[in-house]
Structure 1
Amino acid sequence: MADRSPKPSSRSLWRRYLDFPLIYKLAIALVAGAVVGLAVGEPATALQPLGEVFLRLLQMLVMPLVVVTLIAGVSSIDPVRLGGIGLKVLVFYLATSAVAITVGLLAALAVAPGTGLQAPGRTEQSPEQAPPVAQTLVEIVPENPFAALAEGNVLAVMFAAIAAGIALAFMRASSDERIAGLGALLRRGVDAGVELVFVIVRGVLQYAPVGVFALIAVVLAETGVDALVPLAKLTGVVYGGVAVQIGVYAAVLVLFRVGVRRFFAAAREPMVTAFATRSSSGTLPVSTRAARRMGVDEGVYGFTLPLGATVNMDGTAIYVGAATVFVANVAGVELTVGQLLMVVLVGVLASIGTAGVPGAGLIMLSLAVTQAGLPFGPVALVAGIDAILDMVRTMCNVTGDLTGTRVIARTERGMVHESGEDGTGPGAGAAAVPAGAQRAEGAEPPGEDAGSGG
């Protein structure tokens, strides 16, 4: 009896941790990290390794997840339907990015966040340049897919995975029984790879609160409250612009008759994770899980989410628009209509060539500032609080990816499993809930936490 009592007690404590919803664990970690970072100050930077481990775990999953989900997603769609989904997702992502950067520009023009600030002195470092759009388009096609995989070239890996997925889709649809049989066999292997990655994802998410706590504590320990004072207007513009953009997403969801409350109940975990990690690609495992929870078929989310993590950067577009006006204010330059249009165009196109990792927004901002003919010096002011701005813009990026995924799934027949709407996930065997009953339910979908199956 004495030997058996400690075991159930410790197992029960671990079980309770697993059963506690991830969103609350992340929220507690965020608050605790902020308190420690501000109260302790510089010594809190010793927590950096704990945060780095979390980022490395997420980054470790990115390439395998991109490969298996893209191949599984693309190959699960009928070849005739594949072209329609691809066109829809590109149009949606480009349109929302254009809206986002316009929101950022208009909000910044109204507030004039940089007025009264002095441009910093000479900077020793030259800005990191974004690759030209033409070069980016050429390099999407990899000379060696395995080298692209080893180098972390996301766009090139995505191209190779999409090509493999298309080929597998045609194999499965072939009238030749031998080819169709081989396609079915390959598809089973891909499905096994997807499940393997998701088992690892569930394990990594158990460490997420520790990593989030460390990341937030380190960021606030390094910047402190004083760092926000001279740039409070710019911070407010970016955060306000993101709030407006999320309102745009809600309007789009309503337009396509998708439940807004139910959507955000499923999307809030990847939103919080994106806010803490500042990485769209790193949040991809959590975003994919949320899409499954919404009932979206892998034929849609397996294609739209990896693509969106790289090319859809609405929050970053808001940041680029607002920060460009900020730089112009600090430099004492009044932007012309032509320059504003150029910022919109460059912001939308540059999002294709910047990866969904922390700090990519500075590359886009450097390109936009240069193309607008503005001095680069004031960008150093923005870089000082880039981490604070990066959090909210990454959250917006991920929310836009999920919105596009859910809307596109809504427009494709058979690509939304209603059983997934109650948290059981697609393929759970539950009967479809009548539309009226779904609309009446406002509660959070039960049963999905970090320790449960996807």
Structure 2
Amino acid sequence: MVDKTTVADKQDDSELATSVIEKPKKKMSMSTLVLLSFAAGIASGLFFGEMLAWMSVIGDAFIKLLQMTIIPYIIVSLISSLGSLTMVQAKSLGVKVGKLMLVIWLFGLLTMYLIKYTFPDWQAGEFFSLTALEDPNSINLLDIYIPSNPFFSLSNSYIPAIVLFCVATGIALISIDKKDSLMRPMQLLGEAFNKVTQSIVKLMPIGIFAMTAATAGTMDFEEFQKLQVYFVAHVVMTIILTYWVLPAILATITPFSYRDIT
């Protein structure tokens, strides 16, 4: 007669083996893939050198693909988000967001002013060129910030002017009653642009590898040594801003404490 305990143990072992076999493998996160592709790109560029210079075309193509949906998404998301609000919600949101944006802008300007002192003052030789005698192209700030011709602003990617046009259009839609026929298609377009962006982001490891490999393959060792200063400054400033400064600002203007944010 077969021992019941032995049969039960065999059943438990078979169930355990089945669960182990059927357990799905954990996929590698996108951040891990990006870091690995970054390291692999640098290693490949240092090993193969200028043979990988052609990969800069792949990197540029990836950047352009990322930029493809930025402006259309800004247009449809701003107009649909603001246009779907009520007047009371718009006033409350305008006051709160205005204060927050003012703090962020002031902090950003202060950070950009201070971070330049972390870089060394390298003196480089200057050579005479006929282009130095040419007048530089003047920048018209009014064209950048005020969309006198929205299509001109769109064609030149003047983001501040585009945002101002979208905000003005969205605010105008708040007081219009029959706006659902416009809001729904714009929300669907926003979802479509978001899906396109998510699909392109999946190609990020390939784009990062191509850009780093082409850059590392066309740079000298002395240039890499100079870039160490910028890498260290970037890492230090990122840590300070992420774990100290930004949480402190959010704790000041929000009901959350510093410990809750960090």
What's the TM-score, normalizing by structure 1?
0.45
- Cα distance in 2 for residues equivalent to 1:217 and 1:86: 41
Aligned residue number for residue 75 of structure 1 = 83
- CA shift at 1:155, angstroms? 2.1
**Is contact 2:80–2:186 with CA below 8 Å preserved after alignment?**
yes
Aligned residue number for residue 160 of structure 1 = 165
Q: 1:253 aligns with which of 223, 246, 250?
A: 250
The 5 A counterparts of 1:49-448 are: 49-77=57-85, 78-105=89-116, 107=118, 113-114=120-121, 117-122=122-127, 124=129, 125-126=131-132, 135-137=140-142, 139-171=144-176, 180=177, 182-230=178-226, 232-233=228-229, 236-246=232-242, 247-255=244-252, 256=254, 258=256
Q: Give the length in aligned residue pairs.
A: 232
- Cα distance in 2 for residues equivalent to 1:94 and 1:118: 32
- CA shift at 1:214, angstroms? 0.6
Indicate how the Cα distance of structure 1 residues 29 and 161 shifts in structure 2: closer, same or farther if over 3 A, else same: same
Query: How big is each residue's C-alpha offset from its partner over 1:250-293, in whole Å with a ceiling of 9 and x where there is no partner?
Result: 332344355889979xxxxxxxxxxxxxxxxxxxxxxxxxxxxx
**Is contact 1:38–1:224 with CA below 8 Å preserved after alignment?**
no
Q: Kindly provide the amino acid, as one letter, of the partner of residue 126 in structure 2.
A: G
- CA shift at 1:60, angstroms? 0.8
Q: 1:42 aligns with which of 33, 50, 58?
A: 50
Aligned residue number for residue 329 of structure 1 = none
- CA shift at 1:128, angstroms? 9.9
Aligned residue number for residue 359 of structure 1 = none
- CA shift at 1:162, angstroms? 1.2
Q: Kindly provide the amino acid, as one letter, of the partner of residue 27 in structure 1.
A: L
- Cα distance in 2 for residues equivalent to 1:219 and 1:197: 30
Q: SS of the counterpart of 1:229?
A: helix
- CA shift at 1:169, angstroms? 2.1
Q: Kindly provide the amino acid, as one letter, of the partner of residue 22 in structure 1.
A: M
- Cα distance in 2 for residues equivalent to 1:74 and 1:193: 15
Aligned residue number for residue 414 of structure 1 = none
Indicate how the Cα distance of structure 1 residues 48 and 262 shifts in structure 2: closer, same or farther if over 3 A, else same: farther
Structural RMSD (CA)? 3.3
- CA shift at 1:61, angstroms? 1.0
Query: How big is each residue's C-alpha offset from its partner over 1:64-120, in whole Å with a ceiling of 9 and x where there is no partner?
Result: 111112112322442322431452243123221233034325545xxxx23xx5431
**Percent sequence identity over matched residues?**
21
Q: Kindly provide the amino acid, as one letter, of the partner of residue 81 in structure 1.
A: S
The answer to which structure has the higher helix fraction is 2
Indicate how the Cα distance of structure 1 residues 201 and 86 shifts in structure 2: closer, same or farther if over 3 A, else same: same
- Cα distance in 2 for residues equivalent to 1:52 and 1:237: 26
**Is contact 2:251–2:261 with CA below 8 Å preserved after alignment?**
no
Unaligned runs of 5+ in 2: 1-23
What's the TM-score, normalizing by structure 2?
0.74
Structure with bigger RCO (C-alpha 8 Å, 6+ apart): 2
**Is contact 1:61–1:197 with CA below 8 Å preserved after alignment?**
yes
**Is contact 2:144–2:153 with CA below 8 Å preserved after alignment?**
no
**Is contact 1:41–1:221 with CA below 8 Å preserved after alignment?**
yes
